[in-house]
Chain A
Amino acid sequence: MNTLVLIKQVPDTEAKINVVGGKISEAGIKWTISPYDEIALEEAIRIKEKSGGTVTAIAVGDDSVQNALRSAFAMGADIAIHVKVENYQMLDSFGIAKAIASAIEGADYKVILAGRQGADSDNGQVPYILGTLKGWPVVPFAKKVEVSADKATIVCEAEGGEATYEASLPVIITANAGLNEPRYPSLKGIMASKKKPIESKTADISAETKIEVLGFEPPPARPAGRIIDGADAAEKARALVKALREEIKVI
């Protein structure tokens, strides 16, 4: 059972994001695999441990995304594909999905795992675009995945509860938090990851881009708040209720 994992490289969740002149300043940013993609990769490794086959990690971006692919090797990926594009743009979901679609043309993956959303774009679009282009089902927000020879059963987080889906293969599954606990790479894994070759492909997606990025901005400053004073907790509680009723009139 060969699996493919879509890996997006994003700023570490602790990274401070600075906007300079309408652009994100990359100075000082530490880059990692998007947290949900790590969960997706862990799930692919577990499928391999159970039913054999290979785990391929694929990342679209500039040369720097090879770092994410090295981390994927360290966790347990067997094959890594870097799809190199010019002027990579993290919000260009259609271009990214097209690049992945062309890079995997003819390959035989039964399960494609991705993150429910990139921790940069917060979009959750690439898996759906890829699925629609390829005619593969997409099942989002997976909390539990079981794969047999001809179908996958997936328990997903859904509006107001938990939905169980059955899907034909190949299937694209997006990982939600709680699907698994990603492993830490072993020392052996880290050492080996440095020597493994990364397959390199190129894609020209400039004609595929469907969005126009007008510019980034820092988040709007929140109006200054105030600390509610009072002799004791009860008095503070009373003053809070008064403020909610009379100042901002929300209750």
Chain B
Amino acid sequence: MPKILAVGEISNGVLKKASRETTSVGKRLGGAVDAILLGSGASAGVAELAKHGADTVYVGEISPYNGEAYAKAVVDVVKSKGYDIIILPHSWIGRDISARIATALNTGVISDATEISLEGDRVKIRKPVYSGKAFVNLKLKTSPQVVTIRPNAHPISEAAGAGKAETITVDASSAKAKEVKFEAKGGTRVPLTEADIVVSGGRGIKGPENFPLIEQLADLLGAGVGATRAVVDAGWCDHTLQIGQTGLTVSPTLYIAVGISGAIQHMAGMGSSKYIVAINKDPDAPIFKVATYGIVDDLFQVVPPLKEELKAALGR
């Protein structure tokens, strides 16, 4: 059985969903899984990760985030304890540290797995390439095997782990790049990449004064809010909401596209959503080709009654 290390993230003592995913995937692949939890309030996540099967949980306190220091902390644990497989989320942090970790261990990295399995002692993944226009199946030739998994694309499972905390030091003092300032953006909604439901607005909403329509629909559903590049470029919402090839990749259970044509570059960011709803007045819009449910109508006529129906159905 391979020895697996799942990398998790925590912020102010709140465990990121991705941490449960890497631990669950590790448990599913192998026998014993340990986890490493880095971030502020890390020890608060130990008991939580034990519920997904983590035995030893290495906890490291560090704030602000530092990619060099995080990577070094993981490398030190892998070198001193010996792990065969290291699983990270393909999140901001996972993308920032996975290749640093792999290179420091003189091995390779395969990333953004939408499917993952074990063949013998080799991890095999499937990942989208060319903005989701094709998939590739990959393995690493070298060990240890470093792999990142797409957030929201892998099931979370329960298993009893020992949950033994072991404190490690994370030291950013020698880092060559350091965060000197952080400005929070995006408000209090669920982070887009973690959201189970995402509601996105396109140029069909006509102007910034109508963006609240998208936000209200999202808030009713407890959903994340997204937008197309057309909306972002026009300055109708913050550009951190852009979904697509040059924006975020999301993989929610439900994606609701309002007034979005479905350009290939937009689809690159949301094509792996489980279900897609499209509201568009043009029956030939490409988004309907991928939609589970389509409504061909004027969004300004559809969204207000949709909000009322949802309020009634959800008792809000």
List the A residue with the shortest CB-CB distance to B187. A160
Q: Separation in Å of the A221 CB from the closest CB of chain B?
A: 10
Please tell me if B224 contacts chain A, counting CB pairs below 8 Å.
Answer: no
B281-316 interface bits toward A, Cβ cutoff 8 Å, 1 = contact, 0 = none: 001000010111111111001110110111001100
Chain A residues, CB < 8 A from B292: 222-223, 225-226, 248
Chain A residues, CB < 8 A from B65: 158-159, 163
Q: Separation in Å of the A5 CB from the closest CB of chain B?
A: 18
B contact face: mostly helix, strand, loop, or mixed: mixed
Choose among A138, A161, A212 the residue that contacts B177 (Cβ–Cβ < 8 A): A138
Contact B296 A227 (CB under 8 A): yes
Please tell me if B30 contacts chain A, counting CB pairs below 8 Å.
Answer: no
A142-182 interface bits toward B, Cβ cutoff 8 Å, 1 = contact, 0 = none: 00000000000100011111111111100100000110000
Residue total for B at the interface (Cβ-Cβ under 8 A): 91
- Given known pairs A132-B99, A157-B240, A211-B108, the reply for A237 and B136 (CB within 8 Å) is no
Contact B109 A93 (CB under 8 A): yes
B142-180 interface bits toward A, Cβ cutoff 8 Å, 1 = contact, 0 = none: 100000000000000000000000000000000111111
Contact B103 A237 (CB under 8 A): no
Q: Which residues on A are within 8 Å of B, measured CB to CB?
A: 11, 13-14, 16-17, 19, 24, 35-36, 91, 93-94, 97, 119-125, 128-129, 131-133, 136-141, 153, 157-168, 171, 177-178, 209-220, 222-223, 225-228, 232-234, 236-238, 240-241, 243-245, 248, 250-251
- Given known pairs A122-B128, A211-B140, the reply for A163 and B309 (CB within 8 Å) is no
Contact B100 A91 (CB under 8 A): no
List the B residue with the shortest CB-CB distance to A227. B294
Choose among A17, A167, A223 the residue that contacts B130 (Cβ–Cβ < 8 A): A17
A contact face: mostly helix, strand, loop, or mixed: mixed
Q: In the complex, A123→B125 CA distance in Å? A: 14
Please tell me if B276 contacts chain A, counting CB pairs below 8 Å.
Answer: yes
Contact A210 B141 (CB under 8 A): yes
List the A residue with the shortest CB-CB distance to B247. A177
